[in-house]
Amino acid sequence: MLNHPQFRPPAEADSLILQVDQGCPYNGCTFCGMYKQVRYQRRSLAEIRKMIEMEARDAPYVNRVFLADGDVMRRSFSDLEAILRELAAHFPRLARVNVYATGSGIMAKSGEELRALRALKLHTLYLGLESGDEESLRRVNKGETAEVMVEAGKLAQDCGLKVSVMVLLGLGGVERTGPHAVATAQALNRMQPRLLSALRVVPVPGTGLHDEVVAGRFLPLTELQVVQELRRIVQNLELTNTVFRANHTSNPIPLEARLGRDKDRLFAELDSLIASGALDSRTPGRTPLWL
């Protein structure tokens, strides 16, 4: 059962999307337009039980579930435990349940509680780090610090959960591209996420960041500068076992690697792209058809 708009990570394309909440409980990031027109509502456990029963009648052999919308991890441990038990009771082939999460949503749970949720097949937490630079995060009203998100990612992984981290290229604009790149790499090195995605920030009409661009207070990176920023991030990364992807439609070209094994190869690809002259050095380049 879905209400629109529907948002989910690309990796959840084949999952059952179960919208246990509507919108985002924070919804204050100036770069994000995902839930700006959605009033946050938390469905009751009774409503969720009915949704699960209905979905199980139509598709009893589901093995992957994504719980929408934004930051379902912010729900209480007892709520999450009840939802996971209900899913297990109705989907005998269930293998994993994944959610969007914030650092504060994770840190509100104890290690014992996180391990209990993992035992109930909670599997992957999608965490939007965006940047390791505290000033960049403050300017876009992220509402969380890099320090909290790093500690949350480490705690979740120590408890057996997989953490898929997203960073936003260009989030600091021209003014903070250097600090953004270096601090983001440092945060990732501390966290050592199993999955890492890099997307280019796109000022979407209707968001505070777009207003900042129009007013001339935020200068976006050009397409060339975005790739140079990514190169600087990669240069400073010291990851040991991370699947890295920059294949979102917002990226100038699709990239994929396993870090650190493929770091030299990825670095060479970025150098070749920068030297090619194919990147727009005057504007951010084409606007993605979808975000």
Whole-number pLDDT of residue 38: 86
Q: Is the pLDDT of residue 219 over 60?
A: yes
Per-residue pLDDT, averaged over 167-171, amounts to 97
What is the token pair recorded at 147? Answer: 């320090």
From 282, 188, 285, 170, select the one nearest 228 (Cα to Cα). Answer: 170
**What is the model's pTM?**
0.94
Whole-number pLDDT of residue 289: 47
Question: Cis peptide before 69, with omega less than 30 degrees from 0?
Answer: yes
Q: Identify the band that residue 35 occupies on the pLDDT scale cut at 50, 70 and 90.
A: confident
Whole-number pLDDT of residue 3: 55
Q: Is the pLDDT of residue 157 over 50?
A: yes
Average pLDDT across the chain, whole number = 94
Q: Which residue has the tokens 């940047």?
A: 131
Q: Is the pLDDT of residue 285 over 90?
A: no
- In angstroms, the CA 132 to CA 194 distance is 17
- Where do the H-state alpha helices sit in 123-275? 134-139, 146-158, 177-191, 208-214, 223-236, 263-275
**Beta 64-68 vs 195-200: how paired, if at all?**
unpaired
Q: Is the pLDDT of residue 258 over 60?
A: yes
Biggest CA-to-CA distance, the chain: 58
Q: Identify the band that residue 255 occupies on the pLDDT scale cut at 50, 70 and 90.
A: very high
CATH number of 10-275: 3.20.20.70
pLDDT digits (tens, 9 = 90+) for 121-146: 999 999 999 999 999 999 999 999 99
Whole-number pLDDT of residue 288: 61
Q: Identify the band that residue 34 occupies on the pLDDT scale cut at 50, 70 and 90.
A: confident
Please check whether residue 125 is in contact with residue 97, taking contact to mean a CB–CB distance below 8 angstroms. no
Whole-number pLDDT of residue 117: 98
Q: Is the pLDDT of residue 252 over 70?
A: yes
Cβ neighbour number for residue 124 with a 10 Å cutoff: 22
Task: Indicate the DSSP class of residue 192.
Answer: -
Whole-number pLDDT of residue 63: 97
Whole-number pLDDT of residue 160: 98
**Beta 64-68 vs 16-19: how paired, if at all?**
parallel
Per-residue pLDDT, averaged over 165-177, amounts to 98
Whole-number pLDDT of residue 6: 73
